[in-house]
A and B are shown apart, each in its own frame.
Chain A
Amino acid sequence: MSGQDFTTEGGHGAVPLQGVPAAKPGHGSEREWPLYEVFVRGKRGLNHVHVGSLHAADDEMALRHARDVYTRRNEGVSVWVVQARHVAASSPDEKDPMFAPSGDKVYRHPTFYSIPDDVPHM
């Protein structure tokens, strides 16, 4: 029929997965607003959690956009935004050597210590 594959998971409907470019040389023609990462505190007592990103010209606009994009239904009581380029990150890869040293320090966990069952409140 088509020779072209349409995945159903275009979300609101099938879209072609073939014959469609996945990038544009030079990433497009405009200088873009910087990318910000957005963190929302869901309610008092919880940490701010990363919810996604957005583009804004400056910090103030980023906060306004974050409010409209990520908290339309009481999802938060406080928002942080930070330019994505200011986030320093480890590689999240599980085999990252950065997290290897904690693997052999089992004595850091309470289960490492055996205490007789009849000792109360331990």
Chain B
Amino acid sequence: MTTSDTATDAQLSALEARFEDTIARSERIEPRDWMPEGYRKTLVRQIAQHAHSEIIGMQPEGNWITRAPSLRRKAILLAKVQDEAGHGLYLYSAAETLGVSRGELTEMLIEGRQKYSSIFNYPTLSYADVGTIGWLVDGAAICNQVPLCRTSYGPYGRAMIRVCKEESFHQRQGYELLMTMMQGTEEQRAMVQESVNRFWWPALMMFGPPDEDSPNTAQSMAWGIKRNTNDDLRQRFVDMSVPQAEALGVTFPDPDLKWNAERGHHDFGEPDWDEFMQVVKGNGPCNAQRIAHRRTAHEDGAWVREAALAFADRQREAARA
């Protein structure tokens, strides 16, 4: 290698200074800009696993497509699940601008080396879960994703803007579904409450462990990747959800949940972080099933991907001849 290929220390610190400067001015970093290796890797992990969450997230709800109670509900659910596929694709596309390939990310997902949000390792036991997921799980996702529209990495922020536009439909269809059930029979109301009871705590865990247990938060916030801390976002979500639950006529399974006039926020109990860690490690109710399903879909599709490439190759040769 000649010296012109290797950045000297002085060149490197000039590049670093320019990067820091761009972040300080709240301008976006774009794919071909120089960036610190730690920034690039953190982004790849975050964006790739965000993409995996969207893709795996199709499964719990997809479970109910064939059993939706009406054509209207089926059409809505199909559109919602298709959106989640789209979210995954926007995000894989953003990750690829950082020098990784879609194929390698998919392989790291089905090999269990990269993770996805633990919320999707819980089963959807009743049709009310479709509504609860839209309301609480997509609701929590909105709290996370709205600040990400201003994240420092351009392609990630732009993907988030597209995603956020669609999430509002997801949350509203879920809430409307639950409202409809709450106006139904006693059994239907009980189904909604039972579903909310199961999803409330896992939804709170979506925001991640408490701030004091999140050692990377400071670095991610300094880089402008992350905009709010875990606890801030969780508080925002609780404060938003309580009046929505009241309007719906359901309760949350937390005896410590109450308004604190002094703080101007709701107090609430501590999620079971041991359970969270167990699910992340692969011991949740559906981890194995979710990955097995994704692996089967990927492997069963291999011949289609190969055949399409062979066909394209042949068309190109024919055009040349």
Contacts and interface: CB of A to CB of B under 8 A. Distances in A.
A13 B141 contact: yes
Contact of A13 (B144, B166, B273): B144
A27 B101 contact: yes
B256 interface: no
A5 B79 CA distance: 34
B18 interface: yes
Contact of B216 (A17, A28, A32, A53): A17
Interface residues of A, number: 47
Interface string A53-94: 111011001000000110011000000000000000101111
A6 to B, nearest CB: 4
Given A10-B116, A15-B117, A20-B113, A57 B90 contact: no
A15 B116 contact: yes
Contacts of A32: 101-103
| Secondary structure dominating the interface of A | loop
Interface of A: 1-2, 5-18, 20-24, 27-33, 35, 51-55, 57-58, 61, 68-69, 72-73, 89, 91-95
Given A12-B54, A13-B144, A52-B90, 5 more contacts: A8-B226, A10-B49, A11-B141, A12-B117, A21-B113
Interface of B: 18, 22, 30-34, 40-42, 44-46, 48-50, 53-54, 57, 79, 82-83, 86-87, 89-91, 93-94, 96-97, 99-104, 106-108, 113-120, 137, 140-141, 144-145, 147-148, 151, 155, 158-160, 162-163, 165-166, 205-209, 213-217, 220, 225-226, 228-230, 233-234, 273, 277, 280, 302, 305, 308-309, 311-312, 315
